[in-house]
Amino acid sequence: LQAADKSESGTLEGEEFVLFYKALTQREEVLSLFQEFSEDGKKLTLLELVDFLQQEQLEGEGMEELAMELIDKYEPSETAKARHVLSADGFLMYLCSPEGSIFNPQHRALWQDMTQPLCHYFISSSHNTYLIEDQIRGQSSIEGYIRALKRGCRCLEVDCWDGPNGEPLVYHGHTFTSKIPFREVVSTLGKYAFQQGSFTRDPRVLGASTHRKGCLCPSRILLGPGGRGTRGSWDRAWHTEVPEQGHPPPPTPQELKHKILLKGKKIGRLEDTLDGPGDDAPELSDEDNGAEAEEEKRRAKVGEAARVSALQKDRESLAQALSDCVIYCKSVSFQGFQEARAHSRPSEISSFSEAKARKLIRESGNEFVRHNAWQLARIYPSGMRTDSSNYDPQEMWNAGCQIVALNFQTAGAEMDLNDGLFSQNGRCGYVLKPPFMRHEGTLFNPSDPSTWEGSGPTTLTIQVISGQQLPKVANSKNEAVIDPLVRVEIHGVPADQAHQETKYIENNGFNPHWDETLQFQLRVPELALVRFVVEDYDKTSRNDFVGQFTLPFANIKPGYRHIHLLSKDGTNIPPSSLFVHIRITE
């Protein structure tokens, strides 16, 4: 400020402000790169820009057209535009733009095939969506549903319990969490489920766990008297069409656009009940355990005879109407891979605790991958995570599990991975699994390198060059200045898991320069996520989080790229960024 204030008036006027602005935005490393390709050091001609795009950015065909587009879009000087040249200012603007981002802009749009069965996609999913705090005393709120939907979540959960005057309530049973009316949840879903643009109209899955008599009440609100008529503006969105064939394969996201699928248990047939307790047994959540489960089992034994005699009435009840809404996501208990193959159907879904899923991955990794090639699997957090912490979703995606439910209210690396995976494909909440995870005869096992396809590892080389305007650590003192370092993490199959970091730069969050090269070997790049983390180094305690950005390896653009950092809760923190050079060698 003092250097730009030539008049020593204490204020900046006219050219003084221009000088001040240029001093703030001067990027020596970018200018040096610009001059490497500029013959006169003042401009890039069209052919010089084409050379840069081909040699460094590794852009595909149509380089001259792309160069013309970039000049037209980012060159601030009309004179330079007319001459088809790019100034140093225009070059910097290009590198800081979406076209200069590490994230392939073509993959921001809907770019994947959406005509595969549902089980061929990873689906963004939340756990106990109504909670916005912990699992014991936390607040239940419709805000949980709004936040999750706006964040791209496509599978939401509702726990219904009896309330006063027959009105069901939503809350975490047998805890001290607050309660919200089920009617408000339905109203919120009707308002926000498909609110965002055309790329977010893919199907939503609503997981409904009904407890005690609560299974009757939601059907009244959803379906109205006699099972029809009061679903309001989203009446057409509720998917209740029964397929004409016997047991067809699950539909595709394309076929179910703008539809809501109900995930839950179905009331069985009378003959099923006579043979023994069936799916029409008292409704239990997939996560019920302990005292609640024992109580429900006792009720089941006492009421068995009454249930059989009353089944015909049940078939005409509102509970039956709710059951009839469950078409493609019927919840069934998992009894083993052979049992599932012999008796289950593609339209059914099983839920697994994180511990059970880990055990299956460890002991039967290939069988689990094969199972997930034809049927949906939902993973949910351990009941011990009362603080709403999250497990690592990557190990579940490695096995092809589609519905990996996380506590969206809890920030951290786990939600960074989730946001990173689903930041692609138009943020529609559906990401197509790699081809080797989509056929039922696959040999792939995430823990066994001998089952992996491919000729050899892919090498990812990252030169971490510099940082720009990194934020201060939250709640730090006004005079505090960060000592930033960059850590790059690879999340994927166990053999690919790795991390490396740069040295820290003392007292410089404004324009730190590292110029360090990190290198990684990837055996299964199709499943890899790359997470860039900036931390404030502290030699006496744990480093403080500054910012991060996570993306799938498949979406990385090579060359000189900017990484636009996100905060702990996944929101943008402009203009904070990292400047890197990426090289990928197969």
10 Å Cβ neighbour count for 515? 10
Nearest alpha-carbon partner for 308 in 267, 343, 349: 267
Of 469, 461, 478, nearest in space to 517 by CA: 461
* Beta-carbon contacts of residue 346 (< 8 Å; ≥ 6 apart): 117, 119, 247, 249, 250, 374, 375
172 among known catalytic residues: yes
Alpha carbon dihedral 125, 128, 131, 133, in 10-degree steps, equals -80
* DSSP character string of 179-194: -EEHHHHHHHHHHHTT
Rounded to the nearest 5°, which phi and psi values hold at 326? -85, 105
Identify the helix (H) or strand (E) that includes residue 504. none
Check 172, 239, 491, 564 and give the catalytic one.
172
Asked whether 530 and 556 are in contact (CB, 8 A), the reply is yes
For the question of residue 127 being annotated catalytic, the response is yes
Quote the CA–CA distance of 209 and 458 in Å, as a whole number: 44
Closest CA to 470 of 509, 502, 513: 509
Residue whose structure tokens are 């209210």: 409
Burial of 5 (0-12, 13-18, 19+ CB in 10 A): middle
Of 107, 120, 127, 562, which one is the catalytic site residue?
127
Rounded Cα distance, 42 and 175, in Å: 68
Q: Give the max Cα distance, the chain.
A: 96
- What would the DSSP string read from start to end of 431-477? EEPPGGGTSTT----TT-GGG--SSSPEEEEEEEEEEESPPPPTT--
Number of neighbouring beta carbons within 10 Å of residue 254? 12
- C-alpha 372/C-alpha 400 separation (Å) is 6
Q: Which residues are catalytic?
A: 127, 172
